[in-house]
Structure 1
Amino acid sequence: MNFKNGLTAVLKKDTSVPIVSVYIWVKTGSINETPEQAGLSHFIEHLVFKGTKNFPGNTEIMENIENMGGYVNAATSKEYTCFYIDIQKDGYIQAIKMLSDMVTNPLFPEKEIVPERKVVIEEIQRHKDNPHSQLFEKFMTTTYKQAAYKNSVIGTEDVIANIPREEIVKYFKEHYIPSRMVIAVVGDIDIKETKKVISETLGQNQNTNPNFIEPNIIEKDDTGTDLVTEDKLAHTYMLAGFLGPDMSSKDIYVADVALNVLGAGKSSRLNRILKEEKQLVYSISSSFMTLNGTGTAYISAIFDKTNYEQVKDALIQELDKFTAEGPTQEELQKIKINMKSDWLFDLQTFNEQASLMGFWKLFNHLEVFEKYLENIEKVTVDDVKNFMKKYYSKEKLSKVVVFPK
């Protein structure tokens, strides 16, 4: 349902368990930031918990939720920021009120901003010490040369340490507007009462930004680039990948199938050949990163430094073979069954349902959620071959490798 202020709500009643999951999604993340704002979306995610108009104490929201037996969390990505509460059904109205106040009426008290700067800077430092995180950062900045997906979510210490409160408030007012928000509520709810409380809270948000400029999310340069660095590691880490479709394309279903066949699970093609048969890697996997703009197919591997050339050659050999021949019918059917099971298992929880429904609605593609399994089932061997020929070539493959010092 849509509200006059531009807010969208997705509601689903399920009385099988007396609990409710409430999500609020905001369409802003690191792709919306300038270099002078690097990490600000993530910083704001922290700060809205530090007091709001109706819950002014810096711990009031957390204490209220805990007193009702609920669980609250939040996350920031390149494309969105989300907040959610899982709670027993008697507390879900209050949960909606608290989350709504967080994304409409945060106080941003100066006395809370100062200590929170230190908290986030510590996160940035831990991020720098994590080889997986650093590999991903390097991969995104190597793969995306023009699109804003190259922007880091965690940001920089300099920005977090020095950005003034007025800049934080300005960014919040420009991006936390109802036309860029979705609230998803799933569980043992009263639909009529839920609509009423949303209308009286988040539905009253009048923030607008007529001058909003959408970031560039389409990467036109698909030329592969290699980056080799060193770090204090025991083994060699590699991320290799190529650009793929955006979420408006039906190719995203083929992408999911193709990358699952290649590297999902112990019986996947890359694991079977590079790890079990040739014993070149300690681990290898692949996946497709679905984005509102240009997505990415990526392969992650950990191996001994002396095996690098063999790993690289074997990977390209398998990708070339997969492009020419596609998966076998047996591989295709097996992966479809596994993907269906994973999808259905995830949907057992109200949290996952609210998360998926809110996410896809935020980008106006709720049909992906509604018809995902149906479209996965339609994928053929020829579809996979055509997908690989369309998006992959050796020249389009980017590789980021981190060797141990």
Structure 2
Amino acid sequence: MENIKKTLVKYPYLTRDVEVYERENGHKIVLAHKEGDMVNVSSWVKTGSINENDHNNGISHFLEHLMFKGTHKHKAGYFDRTLEAKGAIVNAATWKDYTFYYVTLPKGEGNKDFYETIELHADMMLDPTLPEDEIGHEFDINDDKSVRDKRERHVVIEEIRMRKDQPWTKVYNKTNSCMYKKHPYKRDVIGTPEIISQVPQAEIMEYYKTHYTPNNVTTIIVGDFNHEEILEKVCKEFDWKGRKNYQNPIYEIDAPTDHTIYNEETANVNTGFLMAGYLTCPAKDVKDTILMDLVNIILGDGSSSRLYQNLIEKVEEPVFNMVETDYYQFRDGNNFFVEANFRPEKKEKAVEMIKAEIEKVKSTITEAEFKKAVKKTKSEFAYKAETVSEIGDTIGHYMTVCNDLALVSDYLNILESLTVEDVQDAAERYLNINNAVISVLMPEK
């Protein structure tokens, strides 16, 4: 067997250390033990919209769709049809830092279904044919008569159009694009109809060959199995045949804006939509990431949060229909968002009320709020170790976005060490109104 580097990682709530293997070609294999009959097989690729430009934006997501369209061994549909007949859940997703493909299913008698899943998954990852008749012909997006066939190209464009018309998509895209001047995170992951309608098969295949390389892929197996046998099986099936590696570019992250950027647009909506975005720490900064997760819970997560209680539940004069926060984790820098739907005639008041609540959270967090947020964070972390799918997702995140699974070992100790003052300090450092991008969508007059 080839020379493989092995590392053990203590993973909270699991009964055995997680095994991380790095092959000579850079391909990483992670084996995690979880008792039960279910297994999860996934591969995470270190490419997404971060590796795109203005000319091929959306190609990562388009390729994700096309990876299921057959290999030299199996025709389009065989992969899904075969595995779903065995009770499998088959899916994939593309985001800014990664694209991942996964299968969750019962192992089957004598592990037969489990082994076949590894074979099919490896075949799909290593030998997609991206057939022209599945992609569909290129066409002029402004001329419906030029559409010769409604294949996957057309499916993806319809998906883009459906999202584009959604109010939240409009305010998110506007906010996101203004948070960055140069970094590729500024682009929408799904791309544009103009690009997807024209990108040729050869360009998609070249993108695949460039980015789906051994050093950029982590294959994760979670379940109850013989680790030596499965390691040997994965190494055998993932025969890269000397494929050359590709080193992803390192992008300099933009500094936060030094003054509040305010955008306002109109659309065919009946209520007002608002999003305020802030740049924060990289995902691998576990302490600050946890701190901003706690801010997220206290300020805007659910009906017990400050924003809901102070701006919806306890007000005499209704202004908001909905208000909450979100926290997205990315390799080069996380995003914190405040999102609100409000009565359009109360726009100015809505903006000022949100600003005031953000300022208050920097100095008025109570011990009770803090303890409740810590307890919820602990519970969510524990939940992510309950199923093979959740474990696979968490490992994939740490391996791909944070570039270090060992960080998961420190998570609970860091969480336990934090104080109210730490959370308020993080809010003070990252939620400065001068660093905010605010986008508002109003009804057309």
**Once the two structures are superposed, what CA deviation does each residue of 1:318-339 show, in whole Å capped at 9, x if it has no partner?**
222222x141111100111122
1:402 and 2:424 correspond: no
Tell me which amino acid in the other structure corresponds to 2:24: K
- Partner of residue 377, structure 2: 339
- 2:96 paired with 1:58: no
2:180 to 144, 168, 172: 144
Q: Match for residue 9 of structure 1?
A: 29
Instruction: Give a deviation string over 1:49-72, Cα, whole Å, max 9, x none.
Output: 0111332x1111111112222120
Deviation of the 1:309 alpha carbon = 1.0
- Judge which range, 376-385 or 25-34, deviates more: 376-385
Amino acid corresponding to residue 408 of structure 2 in structure 1: F
Q: CA deviation at 1:202?
A: 1.9
2:148 counterpart residue number: none
Distance 2:427 2:231 in 1: 45
For 2:52, give the aligned amino acid: E
2:139 maps to what in 1?
none
Superposed CA offset, 1:149-206 (max 9, x none): 1111110112111111111111111100110111111112221121011111225353
Matched residue SS, 1:125:
helix
Provide the aligned C-alpha RMSD in A.
1.6
Quick check: 1:82 aligned with 2:118? Answer: no
* Contact 1:3–1:203 under 8 Å retained in 2: no
Q: Distance in 1 between matches of 2:34 and 2:442?
A: 50
* Structure (1/2) with the larger helix percentage: 1
Are the counterparts in 1 of residues 213 and 244 from structure 2 also a CA contact under 8 Å?
yes
Rounded Cα–Cα distance in structure 2 between residues aligned with 1:302 and 1:373: 35
For 1:99, give the aligned amino acid.
H
| Matches for 1:289-368 after TM superposition, within 5 Å | 289-323=328-362, 325-362=363-400, 363-368=402-407
**Whole-angstrom distance in 1 between the partners of 2:116 and 2:257:** 48
Q: Which residue of 1 aligns with 2:125?
A: 103
- Count of matched residue positions in the alignment of Structure 1 and Structure 2: 401
Using the size of structure 2 for normalisation, the TM-score is: 0.87
Q: Letter of the 1:351 partner, please give it.
A: S
Residue correspondence of structure 1 range 113-128 to structure 2 within 5 A: 113-114=135-136, 115-128=151-164
Tell me the SS of whatever aligns to 1:282. strand
How far residue 129 of structure 1 moved from its aligned partner, in angstroms, is 1.9
Deviation track 1:97-137 (CA, whole Å, cap 9, x = no partner) reads 22212221101111111011111111111111222222222
Give unpaired runs (5+ residues) of structure 2: 1-20, 137-150
User: SS of the residue aligned with 1:132?
Assistant: helix
Once residues 196 and 209 of structure 1 are traced to their aligned partners in structure 2, the CA distance between those partners, rounded to angstroms, is 22
Alignment of 1:126-165 (within 5 A): 126-165=162-201
The equivalent of 2:228 in structure 1 is: 192
Distance in 2, matches of 1:393 and 1:146, equals 21
Taking the aligned partners of 1:273 and 1:188, their CA distance within structure 2 comes to 47
- What is the CA-CA distance between 1:392 and the residue it aligns to? 2.4
Q: Distance in 2 between matches of 1:207 and 1:159?
A: 28
Q: In 2, Cα distance between the equivalents of 1:139 and 1:205? A: 44
Change (3 A) 1:387 1:24: same
CA deviation map 1:293-319 (0-9, x unaligned): 121111111111112111111111122
Are the counterparts in 2 of residues 253 and 379 from structure 1 also a CA contact under 8 Å? no
Shift of 1:359: 1.8
Alignment-mate amino acid for residue 51 of structure 1: G
Deviations 1:362-382 (A, max 9, x none): 232313433323322222111
Structure 1: gaps (5+ residues): none
Q: Does 1:214 align with 2:234?
A: no
Q: Contact 2:126–2:240 (CA<8 Å) still a contact in 1?
A: no
- Kindly tell me: are residues 183 and 213 of structure 1, through their superposed partners in 2, closer, same or farther at Cα, counting changes over 3 Å? closer
Asked if the contact 2:96/2:330 (under 8 Å) is kept, the reply is no
Rounded to whole Å, the distance in 2 between the matches of 1:146 and 1:118 is 30
CA distance in 2 between partners of 1:271 and 1:401 (Å): 19
Q: Give the corresponding residue for 2:281.
A: 245
Distance, in Å, in 2 between the alignment partners of 1:20 and 1:193 is: 15
Find the residue that maps to 2:219 and give its secondary structure.
strand
Q: How high is the sequence identity, in percent, across the aligned residues?
A: 30
Shift in alpha-carbon separation, 1:244–1:205, aligned structure 2, 3 A:
farther
Q: Residues 326 and 381 of structure 1 are in contact (CA less than 8 Å); yes or no, is this contact kept in structure 2?
A: no
